[in-house]
């Protein structure tokens, strides 16, 4: 995951989380939000008698697609090209950004409107376009709040979940004028009034901008069709009104056949927003209604993830965010602590695999979990996130003191006689064990109590008393 210089200098997760839990406003916002979506999701999932079967089909369709990804990508390329679209391939963020910038320049335009897209955030497209003199305008309400506030998204579905209405009103009043139509003088902090301000701010831009950039929720290999799910209509505006449409999509977003949508158009809206169906879904195949259409297929680390037998299941993710909304850690630490555009449990397994674990933040992510398993249960494509977390913990390079300690423990536990000797020694010296361990071992006692060491081990007691009989 190169390109997004986003959070790479960030401190590790525990440091970020410790700061975040001190923010009572953030905790209040997050608790309210996650519990609301959680409840709605449970209700609409409970409505479907065949949820388990849909979930199984969703998982298997994704696994099958990933197994034959090369074949399906070629089929997609052929179908999109036959329908008048152009397909580009990008190995990494830099290349994808280069292709998009060149395509925009070829139109002679200096601004683009954007549909909310995780992939373009991941590659830092807006910043890359800015360097080329092209302004990218976010049009999703939450992304607009994040963009105007010069902020980072903190949730996959509701990126401004960490902001309350008063903060949003302030951002609109201070920043809207710099980006276009100013906020109304009398703007209140009523959600309805704020949404109306965004409608007015963006309306003129939608009707006049010639180039749009989007991502996609699904691509259908068989037909070359792209699918975008949304709520506000900003997606439809961007997809239908401009003359040129450029879609940047991760290679894992494929589905083999048109029919497969019958599964995913049930799984995604119910898992994501807790609705039976999201307000708007658009599908288009190649160049539509006279538009010029470019598809940029993005790797950017995905083929590395695919090569890991345990970790590759993370590529099944359909970005619904159900795992965030049930996670006790996310609910308290918030999205920014994860230092990536992919927060929460899915971020904890996706980011270290896409970016590697060289930086402090990325090496800490596999530990940003209590392994409670709520995410696995909520996942509509049954990604076993705890399994991948444990797998990644084994791959992260550990601190020297920890490695030595584990090696010593391994040696002791290797033979019962060694263990017994150490236990007897510990029992005799138990009065001298400090409450906190010194030096590098203090990391252990910072977050844990040292257990009381008994005078005698259970095994010794059993041998001495014949199981309590003597």
Partner 1 sequence: MTAGAPADPRPAAEIGTGTSANSRERILARIRSAVAGAPDAPITRSYRTSPEATDVIGLFAERVADYRAVVHVVDGSEAAATIRAAMARQGAVRLVVPDGLPAEWAPDDPVADDPRLTAAELDAVDGVITGCAVGIAETGTIVLDAGPGQGRRALTLVPDYHLCVVRADQIVAGVPEAVARLDPARPLTWISGPSATSDIELNRVEGVHGPRTLEVVVVR
Q: Binding partner 1 by CB under 8 A: which of 75, 97, 247, 283?
A: 283
Query: Residue 128 CB, nearest distance to partner 1 (Å)?
Result: 13
Per CB under 8 A, contacts with partner 1 among 181-240 are 191-192, 194-195, 198-199, 202-203, 206-208, 220, 223, 225, 231-234, 236-237, 239-240
- Which span (2-10, 119-127, 289-297, 377-385) binds partner 1, by CB under 8 A? 289-297
Query: Which one among 23, 243, 259, 377 touches partner 1, defined by CB under 8 A?
Result: 259
CB under 8 A: which stretch of 6-14, 138-146, 375-383, 433-441 binds partner 1? 138-146
Nearer to partner 1, 252 or 363 (CB): 252
276 binds partner 1 (CB under 8 A): yes
18, 42, 43, 74: residue in contact with partner 1 (rule CB under 8 A): 74
Secondary structure, 3-state, the chain: CCCCCCCCCCCCHHHHHHHHCCCHHHHHHHHHHHHHHHHHHHHHHHCCCCHHHHHHHHHHHHHHHHHCHHHHHHHHHHHHHHCCCEEEEECCHHHHHHHHHHHHHHHCCCEEEECCCHHHHHCCHHHHHHHCCCEEEECCHHHHHHHHCCCCCCCCCCCCCCCCHHHHHHHHHHHHHHHCCCCCCCCCCCHHHHHHHHHHHHHHHHHHCCEEEECCCEEECCCCEEEEEECCCHHHHHHHCCCEEEEEEEHHHEECCHHHHHHHHHHHHHHHCCCCCCCEEEEEECCCCCCEEEEEEECCCHHHHHCCCCHHHHHHCCCCCHHHHHCHHHHHHCCHHHCCCCCHHHHHHHHHHHHCCCCHHHHHHHHCCCCCCHHHHHCCCCCCHHHHHHHHHHHCCCCHHHHHHHHHHHHHHCCHHHHHHHHHHHHHCHHHCCCCCCHHHHHHHHHCCCCCCCCCCHHHHHHHHCCCCC
Query: What is the rounded CA–CA span in Å between residue 379 and residue 363?
Result: 24
Residue 133 near partner 1 by CB under 8 A: yes
Q: If binding is defined by CB under 8 A, does position 122 make contact with partner 1?
A: no
Based on the shown chain and the rule CB under 8 A, indicate whether residue 29 belongs to the binding site for partner 1. Answer: yes
Q: Is residue 241 part of the contact set for partner 1 (CB under 8 A)? A: yes
- The reply to whether 105 sits near partner 1 by the rule CB under 8 A is yes
- Residue 370 is a binding residue for partner 1 (CB under 8 A): no
Is residue 292 a contact residue for partner 1 (CB under 8 A)? Answer: yes
Q: Which of residues 385-424 bind partner 1 (CB under 8 A)?
A: none
Nearer to partner 1, 197 or 368 (CB): 197
Cβ proximity to partner 1, 10 vs 263, nearer residue:
263
- Which residue, 13 or 72, has its beta carbon nearer to partner 1? 72
- Regarding 36 and contact with partner 1 (CB under 8 A), the answer is yes
86 binds partner 1 (CB under 8 A): yes
Which of 150, 185, 289, 466 touches partner 1 by CB under 8 A? 289
CA distance 461 to 2: 59
The answer to the question of residue 15 lying near partner 1 (CB under 8 A) is no
Residue 272 in contact with partner 1, rule: CB under 8 A: no
Give min distance, CB of 120 to partner 1, in A.
16
Q: Which of 23, 102, 377, 414 binds partner 1 (CB under 8 A)?
A: 102
Quick note: the x/- pattern for partner 1 over 53-72, rule CB under 8 A, is xx-xx--xx-xx-xxxxx--
Q: Which is nearer to partner 1, 277 or 401 (CB)?
A: 277
Interaction between residue 248 and partner 1 (CB under 8 A)? no
**Rounded to an integer, what distance in angstroms lies between the CA atom of residue 30 and that of residue 416?**
49
The least distance separating partner 1 from the CB of residue 101, rounded to whole angstroms, comes to 8
């Amino acid at each position: 995951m190169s390109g997004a210089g986003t959070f790479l200098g960030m401190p590790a997760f525990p440091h970020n989380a410790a700061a975040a839990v001190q923010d009572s406003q953030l905790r209040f916002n997050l608790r309210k939000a996650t519990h609301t979506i959680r409840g709605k999701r449970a209700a609409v999932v409970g409505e479907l008698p065949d949820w388990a079967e849909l979930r199984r089909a969703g998982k298997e369709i994704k696994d099958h697609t990933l197994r034959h990804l090369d074949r399906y990508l070629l089929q997609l390329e052929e179908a999109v090209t036959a329908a008048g679209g152009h397909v580009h391939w990008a190995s990494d963020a830099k290349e994808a950004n280069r292709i998009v910038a060149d395509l925009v320049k070829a139109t002679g335009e200096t601004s683009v409107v954007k549909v909310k897209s995780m992939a373009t955030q991941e590659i830092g497209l807006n910043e890359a376009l800015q360097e080329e003199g092209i302004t990218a305008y976010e049009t999703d309400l939450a992304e607009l709040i994040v963009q105007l506030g010069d902020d980072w998204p903190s949730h996959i579905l509701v990126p401004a979940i960490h902001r309350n209405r008063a903060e949003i009103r302030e951002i609109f009043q201070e920043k809207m004028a710099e980006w276009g139509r100013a906020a109304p003088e009398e703007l209140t902090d009523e959600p309805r009034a704020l949404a109306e301000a965004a409608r007015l701010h963006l309306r003129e831009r939608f009707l006049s901008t010639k180039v749009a950039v989007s991502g996609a929720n699904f691509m259908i290999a068989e037909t070359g069709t792209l699918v975008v799910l949304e709520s506000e209509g900003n997606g439809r505006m961007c997809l239908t009104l401009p003359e040129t449409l450029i879609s940047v999509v991760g290679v894992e977003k494929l589905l083999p056949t048109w029919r497969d949508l019958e599964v995913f158009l049930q799984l995604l809206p119910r898992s994501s927003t807790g609705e039976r169906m999201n307000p708007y879904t658009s599908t288009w195949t190649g160049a539509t209604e006279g538009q010029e259409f470019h598809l940029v297929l993005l790797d950017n680390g995905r083929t590395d993830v695919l090569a890991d037998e345990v970790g590759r299941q993370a590529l099944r993710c359909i970005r619904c965010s159900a795992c965030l909304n049930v996670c006790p850690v996310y609910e308290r630490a918030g999205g920014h602590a994860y230092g990536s555009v992919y927060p929460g449990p899915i971020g904890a397994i996706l980011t270290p695999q896409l970016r590697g674990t060289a930086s402090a933040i990325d090496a800490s992510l596999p530990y940003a979990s209590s392994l409670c398993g709520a995410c696995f249960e909520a996942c509509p494509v049954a990604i076993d996130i705890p399994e991948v977390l444990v797998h990644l913990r084994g791959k992260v390079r550990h601190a020297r003191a920890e490695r030595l300690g584990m090696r010593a423990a391994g040696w002791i536990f290797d033979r019962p006689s060694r263990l017994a000797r150490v236990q007897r020694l510990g029992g005799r010296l138990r009065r001298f064990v400090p409450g906190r361990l010194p030096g590098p071992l203090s990391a252990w006692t910072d977050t844990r109590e040292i257990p009381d060491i008994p005078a005698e081990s259970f095994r010794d007691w059993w041998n001495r008393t014949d199981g309590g009989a003597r």
